[in-house]
Amino acid sequence: MKKSTKTLCSCIALALLVGFLLYMETLKTTQGMAVSILQKGAIFSIAAVSMNLLNGFTGLFSLGQAGFMAIGAYVTAIFTIPTEKIVAVYYMNGVSEGIMSIKRALSFLPEPVLVLLALIAGGLVAAGFAALVGIPVLRLKSDYLAIATLGFSEIIRALISSPQMDKITNGSYGLKNIPGFGGENGLGCLLVPFGIAALCIVIMVLLIRSSYGRAFKAIAEDEVAAEAMGINLAHHKEMAFVISSFFTAVAGGLLAMYMRSIEAKTFQVILTYDILLIVVIGGIGSVTGSVIGAFLVTASKEWWLRFFDTPLKIGNFQVPLLRTGFRMVIFSLLLMAVVLFWRRGLMGNREFNWDDIPRFGRWVKRKFTKTPATEGGERNG
């Protein structure tokens, strides 16, 4: 395909997407499920791409995502909870004077600006934490790094729910009354998360394509060789860690807005695992894979596999196994199947390209005319 054709295709696809989102926004009341899946998909695609930036492109196996999302979520929530409702939120312990004065000082800002500012502030706070934690922790090798970052995320969670932080994080009561997407009239409930997600992902893609992105990839491939090419390991790893944490926290902020109320329990290790699974299914080292994975996983978890959870009777025959919880069992089995037999995930480490569509068509044709080729599973001594 020619380049101009591809650009045209991309433009058409983008226009269709915006049109679709606008259309869905008008159906918000009747299609609540679909809208909420789209919102969540957009949020998780940011989180997944930023995890991929670190785990896939830089080769740093970090499991601290939940902690950084928590930081982003709490900062965003504190900034955006309407001033008149904040006392009610902190009814148990009262609000810290510092928060009140910041909120008063910012009260002149219109809400959209405030939200944007809040998300960026959340990202910056998380980036600050990442910078501090990164200096010692990034010296560790693969699985030690994983367990240390996982530990860090648990430490953050404990700090948030500790009584000493009551006046800031409202301790174990969590924060409520966080404004959702699109304010009172509800317009922009999809465009806002999609817009922010697109912006974040585009920035990350630009980074990956830049000279720094190449340096990150070099580190992932071979640290010793990367150093021999003059790439400062500590500096570049720290940079990838900080940038990834920034965007993870933005995703956390959006998650707070999506959920409307958050508590420390929201950000357990399982949240990190969810993001990791999206990255794995999409393909480690593929941005488009992560984005597709985010929507696919969210939709199948919350929607397509939902019928597994409801008991079903065909005639007099009670279909066995179907009851609450079966959906997640199927989902985790699917995941294990991907991990074991389809290790490259949906996209491997490639990116989506318009050429893929005719190629995919040919592939399907081949699959159905010949016997399917076996994939993966080969072993050597």
Report 59-118 residues binding another protein (CB under 8 A).
Answer: 61
Other CB atoms within 10 Å distance of the CB of residue 114 = 18
Among 39, 45, 55, 298, binds another protein (CB under 8 A): 55
Number of residues that bind another protein (CB under 8 A): 75
353 lies in the binding site for another protein (CB under 8 A): no
332 lies in the binding site for another protein (CB under 8 A): yes
User: What stretch of H or E contains 318?
Assistant: strand 317-318
State which residue, 22 or 336, has the beta carbon closest to another protein.
336
Q: How far apart are CA 308 and CA 321, in angstroms?
A: 8
322 lies in the binding site for another protein (CB under 8 A): no
Residue 131-170 contact track with another protein, rule CB under 8 A, x = bound: -----xx-xx-xxx-xxx-xxx-xx-xxx-xxx-------
300 lies in the binding site for another protein (CB under 8 A): no
128 lies in the binding site for another protein (CB under 8 A): no
215 lies in the binding site for another protein (CB under 8 A): yes
277 lies in the binding site for another protein (CB under 8 A): yes
Q: Which of 343, 271, 302 is nearest to 65 (CA)?
A: 271
Q: How far apart are CA 347 and CA 344, in angstroms?
A: 7
Smallest separation, CB 367 to another protein (Å) = 23
Q: Which two tokens stand for residue 373?
A: 């080729």
Among 1, 113, 333, 357, binds another protein (CB under 8 A): 333
325 lies in the binding site for another protein (CB under 8 A): yes
User: What stretch of H or E contains 313?
Assistant: strand 313-314
Smallest separation, CB 342 to another protein (Å) = 12
33 lies in the binding site for another protein (CB under 8 A): no
Other CB atoms within 10 Å distance of the CB of residue 330 = 15
Candidates 10-18, 89-97, 328-336, 363-371 — which segment interacts with another protein by CB under 8 A?
328-336
Helix and strand numbers (H, E) in the chain are 16, 2
206 lies in the binding site for another protein (CB under 8 A): yes
195 lies in the binding site for another protein (CB under 8 A): no
User: What stretch of H or E contains 317?
Assistant: strand 317-318
Q: How far apart are CA 152 and CA 248, in angstroms?
A: 15
User: What stretch of H or E contains 314?
Assistant: strand 313-314
Q: How far apart are CA 251 and CA 240, in angstroms?
A: 17
Smallest separation, CB 340 to another protein (Å) = 5
Q: Which of 144, 172, 139 is nearest to 61 (CA)?
A: 144
State which residue, 87 or 155, has the beta carbon closest to another protein.
155
State which residue, 139 or 366, has the beta carbon closest to another protein.
139
Q: Which of 274, 284, 280, 143 is nearest to 217 (CA)?
A: 284
